[in-house]
Amino acid sequence: MRFLSADWIYPLHISPIKEGVLQVSDEGKIINIFENRSEVPSDKLEIFEGLLCPGFVNAHCHLELSHLKGIAEKGKGILDFISRVKKRDNFKNEEIQNSIIQAEEQMIKNGIVAVGDICNTTDTLLQKQKGNLLYYNFIETFQINDKKIKETLIAAKVIRNEFRNSGMKATIVPHSPYSVPPKLMEGISNFFDNKDDLFTIHMQETSEENQLFENNKGDFYNWLNKINASSEIWKNRNNSTDVLKELGRKHTLLVHNTFSKKEDITDNYYCTCPKANLYIENSLPDYSIFDRDKLCVGTDSLASNDSFSILEELLIIQKNSDFDLNTLLKISSKNGAIALGFKNLGTFEKGKIPGVNLIKNINITKIL
């Protein structure tokens, strides 16, 4: 049993407590929270400088792309980025696996306890089976050719079942509104079953995506025509968010939203990946448009970020919003845990095993 105290405790389900004490079992389970240090025998107290908060939830990651660190040049836009990521297969399996191991180690060191992870392959399966972190695996599909939709869905189902057979959460999801025609959206929606909690989709990451749906023109429109994409993608959609209806109004985690307006926001969960947005588009979302209880944070992949650190992401959000510290920590822990369905994580509520992070100045130490 440990009694952890710091200048501040941020339990996130209740208000922050100055010089509070967290009683934690050897297995990391929260046993109690005390308002005062005097309630605990002083010889048992471990006192830290800084604040204690629950472990972080990285709500959007592509762990399998970790070997692509540095492959894309900063600020070149999404079309250049997509062309770079296509080189993902030009690497030895050993290199891919080693990068996955190192990237996971980095997440653990940086106080991350759970991940919403996008998968196009089963490359991360071996590492995830070790159970170092909790993962919700989102099996991502895209297909711009209407004739290949069936085979895309069949391939996704094979990957999903491999993750599920290893005892992990896995849901088939669409990549984005511009890469998934309505027929594929419908197929994805039909696959949703009682093991699934939510969908996730990249949303309004660029202004070109809005141009495509709102005006049927621009760089995305020209690019999709050049690669013979099905016009069904934009024909009956006047806004990126129209695809949410096609998904059957199930809970969805919308990722990026860099070019979303207030009127685009729906009753869903949202995930911001500020460092990736700065990396690719050199832009950030308007943080005032989001419901603060529904906003999560993610790192995206190492192809569009130089580290897996939720704290670094928070510092950028803090600079570009009016969110107070308690709100920022909710975004980094509680909201992601709720969105992804990790009931034991996200707050210091009794009975949970959320992990304990110590933040001092702008440094983080994983205590538990």
Q: Please, which residue, 246 or 300, has the CB nearer to Zn ion?
A: 300
CA distance 250 to 268: 9
CB of 200 to Zn ion, least distance (A): 9
What's the token pair of residue 237? 């959609």
Binding mask 299-338 for Zn ion (x = CB under 5 A): -x--------------------------------------
Stretch near Zn ion under the rule CB under 5 A, chosen from 7-15, 19-27, 173-181, 293-301: 293-301
- Cβ atoms < 10 Å from Cβ of 206: 25
Q: Please, which residue, 64 or 300, has the CB nearer to Zn ion?
A: 300
Stretch near Zn ion under the rule CB under 5 A, chosen from 25-33, 130-138, 203-211, 298-306: 298-306
For residues 125 and 161, the answer to whether their CB atoms sit within 8 Å is: no
| Max CA pair span of the chain | 71
The residue count for binding Zn ion (CB under 5 A) is 1
Stretch near Zn ion under the rule CB under 5 A, chosen from 70-78, 93-101, 239-247, 297-305: 297-305
Give the pairing of strands 295-297 and 269-272. Answer: parallel
Stretch near Zn ion under the rule CB under 5 A, chosen from 2-10, 22-30, 153-161, 295-303: 295-303
Give the containing element (helix H, strand E) for 24: strand 21-24
Stretch near Zn ion under the rule CB under 5 A, chosen from 203-211, 260-268, 292-300, 335-343: 292-300
Q: Please, which residue, 300 or 313, has the CB nearer to Zn ion?
A: 300
Q: Please, which residue, 10 or 209, has the CB nearer to Zn ion?
A: 209
CB of 358 to Zn ion, least distance (A): 29
CB of 118 to Zn ion, least distance (A): 6
Residue 292 CB burial class (10 angstroms; 0-12, 13-18, ≥19) = middle
Q: Left, alpha or beta for 297 (phi > 0: left; psi -120 to 50: alpha)?
A: beta
Residue nearest to Zn ion (CB): 300
Q: Left, alpha or beta for 324 (phi > 0: left; psi -120 to 50: alpha)?
A: beta
What ranges in 27-140 are assigned the alpha helix state H? Answer: 78-85, 93-109, 125-128
Q: Please, which residue, 196 or 300, has the CB nearer to Zn ion?
A: 300
Q: Please, which residue, 185 or 201, has the CB nearer to Zn ion?
A: 201
CB of 11 to Zn ion, least distance (A): 30
List, as one string, the DSSP characters of 51-68. EEEEPEEEEEE-GGGGGG
Q: Please, which residue, 22 or 185, has the CB nearer to Zn ion?
A: 185
Stretch near Zn ion under the rule CB under 5 A, chosen from 16-24, 71-79, 159-167, 296-304: 296-304
CB of 65 to Zn ion, least distance (A): 9
What residues contact 45, with CB distance under 8 A and at least 6 apart?
A: 3, 5, 21, 37
Stretch near Zn ion under the rule CB under 5 A, chosen from 25-33, 174-182, 183-191, 294-302: 294-302
CB of 222 to Zn ion, least distance (A): 23
Residue with tokens 């939203």: 257
CB of 60 to Zn ion, least distance (A): 6
What's the token pair of residue 34? 């005390």
What residues contact 59, with CB distance under 8 A and at least 6 apart?
A: 116, 253, 255, 269, 271, 296, 297, 298, 335, 336, 339, 340
Q: Please, which residue, 304 or 335, has the CB nearer to Zn ion?
A: 304
Q: Please, which residue, 14 or 82, has the CB nearer to Zn ion?
A: 82
CB of 276 to Zn ion, least distance (A): 7
CA distance 214 to 206: 13
- Residues lying near Zn ion in the complex (CB under 5 A) are found at 300
